[in-house]
Chain A
């Protein structure tokens, strides 16, 4: 069968924007939870507040932004047709949102039924999303390593969702995990696939394209573009062996797998910083600075992990995983996502307005969609909040200012994105009104 080639420039603008415009709001809620519940949230990664915050950030912020971007991105880079993007977005977006709210509430209020509702919502929403995405990515005629990496990332999301569902149902039924599986091992594997197999894999696949594209850097070395996803995937498979009960091999492979995964992640971060230092376009904008902050966070995370392994009295501290979590979530992923949104939304605004108005209109250019000063101001607040969150892991008494700063940074991001959407709406209405006024004149 001849693969369908759309070459459409983009799905309808409402498809990615509905995801983008709600994502930061849940980050703001996560910040408020920390501010309201205070220092006890930071006692360990297992506190109800920490679990609720984590899932609000990874699902309602990260996953939302990533799903919205992927629906947009795949259409462009793979020339792939997404099946009914408007319908998919209209189902996936509210259902994931509800699922994450159920899940966060389930942790906060310890309500078993809510775990089951969350599991149901994620299976429905992500089942649809994964099916549509797999169809598009498997049928595309496009070549390039990025497409392969995106396929692996989608597989990573599938594994994460399956394990997450098992965990939520287990908690919901207050039962033991099925098949004699150990709960801590299930959680470790779920986290590794979610952060490494899905989120980091996606960032890697996307960066092969966008890092050279935004700043005109050299491309990533070909050997590295293959080593990173293959190595990371292999490390994740080895890490997953710990689910096999009573296997000595499985336990032995665990630390080796983690070490390999961390080394690969650090190599990726260093390579990205090195490429950016060799960029041909010397301009420094908010997006570039967000990427740098993200890659430095990933390097810091890798070094911290090695230090925790080398110094068990440090690594076994209850708050050590929180330190890694802050570097991973706000430090790495939210920085990349924010930097990307500041490029994607102005461009999509322009692209869609241009398609509607044609060359007859003088449209605002990309730099007129979100003021540069607003992006840089929000960026400074974001990195201040990151520093405060790290400080609060060391001194939990700082939970209130850290939570408030993080909340404020997410609100500011939301305002910047809403501002961009309003510029779009204003010009769309003007173009529509002009077309409406011209149509009767043409008929008479």
Chain B
């Protein structure tokens, strides 16, 4: 079984781990390691956003007819997280540990409350709305995340 509810929460945890690895390197002032681990984290976050925006959200909207509701808010929050990722990238390039720590803290809060909404509300709604299509979609997203080098 590979419904979105099974694939995506696990990938959230994976992104959390990558976040911690990058944050710890930055905290120790090891900027070479931070650059590498931040890149990995950044790419996985982007892949996650893209899998949802290209596959899951359109399928949910088509199945339920809900266009202006939850998926719109999730896309908006993806935009907020992308902006913070850019600021982290800039802090990483400038070797600015205060800016890295502050933006990382902000991104973590945003990520966690976003994940909570998806995992408690949106994904279960998707499973329900998508029916038999759910497994197929989950498999496609899983492949997309793996391709990004999970």
Where the two chains meet, the residues of A that have a C-beta atom closer than 8 Å to any C-beta of B are 5, 7-9, 76-79, 141-144, 146-147, 209, 213-214, 216, 280-283, 343, 347, 350-351, 354, 359, 362, 364-368
Which chain A residues lie closer than 8 Å to B109 at the CB level? 213, 343, 347, 366
Any A CB within 8 A of the CB of B116: yes
- A142-B120 contact given A347-B106, A359-B83, CB 8 Å threshold: yes
List B90-130 residues whose CB lies under 8 Å from chain A.
98-99, 101-103, 105-106, 108-110, 112-113, 116-117, 120-121, 124-125
Question: Does the CB pair B117–A213 fall under 8 Å?
Answer: no
Please classify how large the interface on chain B is, using the bins under 10, 10 to 19, 20 to 34, 35 or more. 35 or more
Which chain A residues lie closer than 8 Å to B27 at the CB level? 283
Question: Does the CB pair B73–A141 fall under 8 Å?
Answer: no
Question: Does the CB pair A281–B20 fall under 8 Å?
Answer: yes
| Minimum distance in angstroms from A56 CB to a CB of chain B | 31
- Additional pairs, 15, CB under 8 Å, beyond known A283-B27, A343-B109: A5-B121, A9-B73, A77-B116, A77-B120, A141-B121, A141-B125, A143-B121, A213-B109, A216-B19, A283-B23, A347-B109, A347-B110, A359-B83, A365-B87, A365-B103
Question: Does the CB pair A367–B121 fall under 8 Å?
Answer: no
Main secondary structure of the interface of B (DSSP, over half): helix
* 22 A-B pairs (CB sep. < 8 Å): A5-B70, A7-B70, A7-B72, A7-B73, A7-B117, A9-B77, A76-B113, A76-B117, A78-B120, A78-B121, A141-B125, A214-B112, A216-B16, A280-B17, A283-B23, A283-B27, A359-B83, A365-B87, A365-B99, A365-B102, A366-B105, A368-B102
User: CA–CA, A354 to B84, complex, Å?
Assistant: 11
Which chain A residues lie closer than 8 Å to B117 at the CB level? 7, 76-77, 79
Question: Does the CB pair A365–B120 fall under 8 Å?
Answer: no
Which chain B residues lie closer than 8 Å to A8 at the CB level? 73
Any A CB within 8 A of the CB of B80: yes
Which chain A residues lie closer than 8 Å to B106 at the CB level? 347, 350, 365-366
Chain B residue, CB-CB nearest to A77: B116
Which chain B residues lie closer than 8 Å to A209 at the CB level? 116
